[in-house]
């Protein structure tokens, strides 16, 4: 499968690394490849991953059969606008970003929040995409290696397209997520809830002093049709 990971930070690089290890063809998208390669941490990573091309957003989106949004949530719309709608229509977008707003310092707030979400905003702005919100409630290393957290824990799915969610489930299984750990919350509006877990996640990280933790939903499984 050909993946375009949009975003060159630690989240995008971690996901790209895992996809490559599973045998996928991966391109990383950025606004300015030259400026990205001038960053020492990215140049070092690129040297260790010569098989991963770095390309402008539009070229990366053209290449990918599946897109991964690992950009900062405040710039996600701009990044996908640069990717060009002609390269987006019909494709699955795995949205792992959060709309963290650091304009007033730390801890960040969320924008949008409450009656909207980044997942919904992306689906609304780019209706040709099939947006699936997932993996945004945990550290990126846990995203791609759930065994870092002992015991059972949960990854959420939100989205409108059943086939898109099925394909994302398969990817999660390949990352090591057990089928029982994947919880489908329904439509893309349910991304409001998962994005609003970020404030407590940040405080838990501060309290615990590390990021190797996750949420676990314990309870009876809902009956079909409930």
State in Å, rounded, how far the first CA of the chain is from the last one: 35
pLDDT of residue 20: 98
Cross-strand partners of 130: 92
* Number of Cβ within a 10 Å radius of residue 221: 8
Does residue 188 fall inside a structural domain?
A: yes
H helices then E strands: how many in the chain? 10, 10
Does residue 219 fall inside a structural domain?
A: no
pLDDT of residue 225: 40
Picking from 116, 112, 73, the residue whose alpha carbon sits closest to that of residue 95 is 73
Does residue 91 fall inside a structural domain?
A: yes
Does residue 214 fall inside a structural domain?
A: no
Cis-peptide, bond into residue 107, ω within 30° of zero: yes
Q: What's the pLDDT tens digit per position in 87-137?
A: 999 999 999 999 999 988 888 999 999 999 999 999 999 999 999 999 999
pLDDT of residue 85: 85
> If you write DSSP's letter for every residue of 56-115 in order, what string do you get?
EHHHHHHH-SEEEE-S-GGGHHHHHHHH-GGGTTT-EEEE----EE-TT-SS-EESS-SS
Picking from 87, 83, 170, 82, the residue whose alpha carbon sits closest to that of residue 134 is 170
pLDDT of residue 219: 83
Does residue 140 fall inside a structural domain?
A: yes
* Number of Cβ within a 10 Å radius of residue 150: 8
Low-confidence ranges of the chain (pLDDT < 50): 222-226
Which domain does 39 fall in, by range? 2-208
- Token pair, residue 167, equals 């394909």
Question: Structure pTM?
Answer: 0.95
- Token pair, residue 5, equals 């990971």
Does residue 223 fall inside a structural domain?
A: no
How many separate domains does the chain show? 1
Task: Count the helix, strand and coil residues of the chain and give each as a percent rounded to the nearest 5.
Answer: 45, 20, 40
Running DSSP on this structure, what letter comes out for residue 38? Answer: T
Does residue 10 fall inside a structural domain?
A: yes
- CATH number, domain of 125, equals 3.40.50.720
Residue 5 — left, alpha, or beta (φ > 0 → left; ψ -120 to 50 → alpha)? Answer: beta
Say how far residue 148 (Cα) sits from the centre of its chain: 18
pLDDT of residue 221: 57
Burial label for 200, CB within 10 Å (0-12, 13-18, 19+), is exposed
Does residue 225 fall inside a structural domain?
A: no
């Amino acid at each position: 499968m050909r993946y375009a990971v949009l975003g060159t930070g630690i989240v995008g690089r971690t996901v790209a690394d895992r996809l490559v290890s599973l045998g996928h063809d991966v391109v990383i998208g950025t606004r300015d490849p030259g400026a990205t390669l001038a960053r020492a941490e990215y140049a070092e990573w690129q040297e260790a991953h010569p098989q991963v091309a770095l390309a402008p957003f539009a070229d990366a989106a053209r290449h990918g059969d599946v897109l991964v949004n690992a950009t900062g949530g405040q710039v996600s719309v701009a990044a996908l606008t640069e990717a060009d709608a002609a390269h987006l229509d019909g494709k699955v977008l795995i949205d792992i970003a959060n709309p963290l707003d650091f304009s007033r310092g730390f801890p960040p707030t969320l924008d949008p929040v409450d009656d909207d979400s980044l997942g919904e905003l992306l689906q609304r702005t780019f209706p040709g995409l099939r947006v699936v919100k997932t993996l945004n409630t945990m550290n990126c290393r846990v995203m791609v290696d759930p065994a870092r957290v002992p015991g059972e824990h949960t990854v959420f799915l939100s989205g409108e397209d059943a086939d898109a969610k099925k394909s994302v489930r398969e990817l999660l299984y390949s990352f090591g997520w057990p089928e029982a750990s994947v919880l489908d919350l329904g439509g893309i509006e349910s991304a409001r809830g998962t994005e609003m877990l970020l404030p407590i996640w940040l405080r838990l990280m501060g309290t615990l002093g590390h990021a190797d933790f996750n949420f676990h939903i314990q309870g009876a499984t809902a009956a079909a049709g409930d």
